[in-house]
Amino acid sequence: MYIKNKLRFFVMCGLSFFIVVLLLIISISSVLTVINNNKVAKETAAALANMPSISQEDNSGEANVTSNRTDIDETVTTETNSTTVSSSSTSDILILVNKSHGLEKTYVPSDLVDVDLRGVRDTQLRSEAAGALEKLFEKADAQGITLYCCSGYRSYDTQKELYQENVNLYGQKEADLVSAKPGQSEHQTGLAMDVTAESVNLDLLESFGDTSEGQYIKNNAHKYGFIIRYPSNKTAITGYSYEPWHLRYVGIENATTIFNKGITFEEFLNEN
């Protein structure tokens, strides 16, 4: 019994010693990790502090690329700090209309105005979007880019006729890729405008995206609050083929975020 107790005593001592050593190792290694992290953070901060001057001097050949990248970084930063998207004042402009989010048959925007711009036909937009489009056209004119309005607000009934025409012409499957069912058209929101140019015979064609007018729209629309609502290669998300002519008003801040991130309106709404 005595020997057994003595043996148990030594085993217990050994075990306790082992645990104490283990705890010591763990605490030392965690202290070292904290010190190391601080060092890395300081080095990163120092590197970041030096970055702007380097990139400004280094943009001789790739000015656009550099400035675009800077824009992306800035937007991502402000976006994570921003909660403005869900506020009631912007939610109205950010109304989502697509194949799974429709509008009432009776919905008519209360603030429609005639668009006083060069156009294929008379058309209307909500006042805020109309004002923004006027600025976009004005700036384009100043740069020798001649744009035409084609189609803005469309009522439920007009869309119904248009959709039926497309079904008659192309069959329902094709029609669904290029035309919205009544109640599912963004044109009913009064926030969408199809634009065109003489270079595509004032028509709505995919090739508009390659013209100087289409390129101007693609690169500048966001500065006035518009997005290309149906970009190429995004049909799986938007439900529609590429439409370089279909502008949707979402406000300058939101449009700029969408442009910089290269995302669709659906993805933007999911993120916010």
The verdict on whether 243 is a catalytic residue reads: yes
Question: Two tokens at 182?
Answer: 């009544």
The CB-of-192 to Zn ion minimum distance in angstroms stands at 5
And the tokens for 155? 């009522």
Distance of alpha carbon 243 from alpha carbon 246, whole angstroms = 6
Whole-angstrom distance, CA of residue 63 vs CA of residue 81: 28
Smallest separation, CB 249 to Zn ion (Å): 12
CB of residue 186 vs Zn ion: minimum separation in angstroms? 7
Set 186, 243, 267, 271: catalytic member: 243
In 97-239, DSSP assigns E strands to 112-114, 124-126, 148-151, 192-196, 226-230
The H or E element that residue 24 is part of is helix 2-57
Distance CA 71, CA 260 (A): 7
- With CB atoms as reference, the residue minimizing the distance to Zn ion is 246
CB of 187 to Zn ion, least distance (A): 6
Binding residues (CB under 5 A) for Zn ion: these are 194, 246
Nearer to Zn ion, 85 or 93 (CB): 93
What are the residue numbers of the active site? 243
